[in-house]
Amino acid sequence: MMVKIKHKPFELNMYINGKWRGGETNPKRKVINPANGELIAEAVEGSVSDVKSAVQAARVAFDNGVWSDLSPEERAAYLFKVADRIDERHDELAALETMDNGKPLRESDYNISSAASCFRYYAGLVLAPHGKTYNVPDSVQAMVIREPIGVCGLIVPWNFPLMMSVWKIAPALAAGNTIVFKPSEVTPVTPTKLFKIFDEIGLPKGTANMVLGAGEIIGNEITVNHDVDMISFTGGTDTGRHIMKAASGNIKKISLELGGKSPNIIFADADFETALDYALYGIYYGSGQVCSAGSRILIEESIQDKFIARFVERANRIKVGPGNDPETEMGPLVNQEQLDKVLKYIEIGQKEGAELVCGGYRLTDHGYEKGFFIAPTAFIDTKPEMRIVQEEIFGPVAVFQTFKDEEEAVKLANDTRYGLAGSVFTQDAGKAMRVIKKIRAGITWVNSYHSAYIEAPWHGYKQSGIGFSLGVNGLDEFLETKQINFNLDVKPINWFSK
Ligand code: NDP
C-alpha cells in the first residue's frame, strides 16, 4: 500500500536567533515531489541580509557562551533530546524525506534512524575525555585542550537531506560551536523539521540558525562572511573549489566532502553472486545519486561476458517507481535539472562510442511522465579518457571497464581526479589487501559496498575533499587545539640585563 501524508503545501521559513522568519521581498520557492511533480512546500527565499542576521546571532550566542559555556553534559542532554524527538517522529520524517527527495521508503527509514543515532553518538562522544599532557624539558606542565572553533557555516546537498545535515550539525553543536546552516534549496523539508525540534526543546537562542535559499547567494555569503570561523561543505567538487577560494578572506577553516567516481573492482575469483548483488547496489542505490556510488565497475576480462549479461538481466528487473510504494526498489531522480543532466551524459556516452547495454531512457508510461524516472542504465566498451568514465554523472548509470590483471585494475581504479571510495571483490585475502592499499581513496570495502558507520571516519582523497565527517575525526573537525604551558617554577629568568 502506498504511504501518503495528506497535507496542504508546507510553508517553510528560516530560523534565526530563536525565531521563525519569512523572506523579505522575493517570491517563494516551490518544492516539488520528484515522483509526481506535486507541490510539497513553498520555501521563503533568504537574502544576504538574512545571512548577516543569522551570522550575527550565532556570533553573539558564541561570544556570550550561552552554548559553548554549557558543560559537555548539559550540551549532550539537549542532543539526546533531539535524537528522541527524531525517533518519535520517525514515520513522518521518513515519509517527508521520500516525498521531497524521491528515495524509496526503505532508504528514508534508514536515513532517519541514522540521523537520530548520529546525535546520540556525538552527545556521548563529547563526554569522553579529550586533551593531552606532555612531558617537556622544563619545569612546565605542557598540555593541550580542545575548544570550539566559533561560528560554523554548514552547507549541504540534496541527496540525503536530513542525514547530510546531521553529519555536520550534530558534531558542530556537540563541540560547542554555534551554527549557520543552509540546506539544499531542492530539499529543505526535513532539515526545517529538525529546526522545529531545536525550537521545541529550547536550544539557547542564536545557537542554531537556518537560512534558506540559493547557494550562489546564501551559501556564498556564509562562505565570505568574516564573522564565520569555519565552513563545512558537502557538495560537488567544482562548488568546493569555489568555496575554498571564497573562504580565504579571513582564512576560514574548511572541511569539504566532495564528489566521486568510485571504482568497484571485481576479480574472476570473487563470489559471483555476491559481487553481482553489490555491483547493482553500488550504482543503483539512491538512483546513483550517492557521492560514493560504485559508478565504475572494473571487471576481470575472463568473466566479463557472463557478469555483464547477468548484471543487465538483473538491472532490467529493478522496480523503478514512486518512493512511497513499498514495492519500489529505485526511485526517481531529484528534479528536472538532474534528469536532464543524466540524460545528457547518456547521450555523451553514446557519442563517445560506448555501447549502451541497458536503460538509457526516461520512463514515461503509467503516470511516470509527471516524475523524473530513468531506467537503470549501463555502458560497456568504454575507454578511460571518455567523459562518462571520468566525470561524476550522479545518476543510475554504470560504466564498465575491463582489466587483465591486478596491476591494470589498480591503474584504472586510480585514473580519475576523484578519490572518495572504492571496493574489491575477491576470495584471495592477500590480493584484496594488496589492491585496496593501492587505491587512492578514503572509504573502501572488501567484498561489500556502501556501508557507512557513524563510528568511523568518512573522508575523500584527491579532489574528493579535505577533512572528515563522522567518528572521532568528525568531532575533531569542529574543535580547535590550544596549547597551554603552565610554569611550575615562578621566578624571573633574567634573559635581559636588569
Ligand atoms: P552542489 O555543489 O551543487 O550544492 C551543494 C550545496 O552547496 C547546496 O546547498 C548548494 O545550494 C550550495 N552552493 C551552490 N553554490 C554555492 C556557492 N557558490 N557558494 C556556497 N554554496 C553553494 O551539489 P549538489 O547539491 O548538486 O549535490 C551533489 C554533489 O554532492 C555531488 O557531487 C556529490 O558527490 C556530493 N556529495 C558528496 C558527499 C561526500 O560525503 N563526499 C555526500 C553527498 C553528496 P543550492 O541549494 O542552491 O543547490
What is the enclosing helix (H) or strand (E) of 107? helix 105-125
Return the CATH number at 417: 3.40.309.10
Task: List, in order, residues 6 or more apart from 155 with CB less than 8 Å away.
Answer: 181, 182, 215, 219, 222, 223, 231, 232, 233, 234, 235, 243
152 classed as catalytic:
no
Options 221, 291, 300, 392, the catalytic residue: 291
Q: Do β-strands 421-425 and 443-446 pair in parallel, antiparallel, or remain unpaired? A: parallel
Mutate to test the pocket of ligand 1, among 239, 334, 336 (most ligand atoms within 8 A of CB): 239
- DSSP track, 226-276: TT--EEEEES-HHHHHHHHHHGGGGT-EEEEE-----EEEE-TTS-HHHHH
Return the CATH number at 161: 3.40.605.10
Q: Report the nearest-CA residue for atom 13 of ligand 1.
A: 215
Q: Do 122 and 153 lie in a common domain?
A: yes
What type of residue is 264? Answer: N
273 classed as catalytic:
no
| Cα separation, 5 vs 7, whole angstroms | 6
Which atom of ligand 1 is closest in space to residue 157's alpha carbon?
25
pLDDT at 367: 84
Q: Do 307 and 239 lie in a common domain?
A: no
| Domain range enclosing 300 | 263-446
| Cα separation, 361 vs 353, whole angstroms | 17
- Residues having CB closer than 6 A to ligand 1 are 155-159, 164, 182, 184-185, 214-216, 219-220, 223, 234-236, 239, 242-243, 257-260, 291, 392, 394, 420, 460, 465
CA of 155 to the centre of ligand 1 (A): 8
| Cα separation, 17 vs 163, whole angstroms | 23
Q: Do 298 and 366 lie in a common domain?
A: yes
Reduced to 3 states (helix: H, G, I; strand: E, B; else coil), residue 432 is helix
Q: How many domains does the chain have?
A: 2
CA of 219 to the centre of ligand 1 (A): 10
Q: Report the nearest-CA residue for atom 38 of ligand 1.
A: 291
Q: Do β-strands 230-234 and 10-12 pair in parallel, antiparallel, or remain unpaired? A: unpaired
For cell 538481466, what's the residue?
313
172 by Cβ neighbours in 10 Å (0-12 / 13-18 / 19+) ranks as: buried
Q: Do 325 and 285 lie in a common domain?
A: yes
The answer to whether position 457 is within a domain reads no
| Cα separation, 182 vs 184, whole angstroms | 7
CA of 24 to the centre of ligand 1 (A): 25
In a structure prediction context, what are the per-residue pLDDT tens digits for the chain, which is 498 residues long?
566 666 678 899 999 999 999 987 668 999 999 999 999 999 999 999 999 999 999 999 999 999 999 999 999 999 999 999 999 999 999 999 999 999 999 999 999 999 999 999 999 999 887 889 999 999 999 999 999 999 999 999 999 999 999 999 999 999 999 999 999 999 999 999 999 999 999 999 999 999 999 999 999 999 999 999 999 999 999 999 999 999 999 999 999 999 999 999 999 999 999 999 999 999 999 999 999 999 999 999 999 999 999 999 999 999 999 999 999 999 999 999 999 999 999 999 999 999 999 999 999 988 899 999 999 999 999 999 999 999 999 999 999 999 999 999 999 999 999 999 999 999 999 999 999 999 999 999 999 999 999 999 999 999 999 999 999 999 999 999 999 999 999 999 999 998
Task: List, in order, residues 6 or more apart from 226 with CB less than 8 Å away.
Answer: 249, 250
Q: Do 254 and 279 lie in a common domain?
A: no
What is the enclosing helix (H) or strand (E) of 51? helix 48-64
Q: Do 301 and 166 lie in a common domain?
A: no
Q: Do 312 and 418 lie in a common domain?
A: yes
Mutate to test the pocket of ligand 1, among 162, 165, 182, 234 (most ligand atoms within 8 A of CB): 234
Q: Do 313 and 250 lie in a common domain?
A: no
CA of 69 to the centre of ligand 1 (A): 32
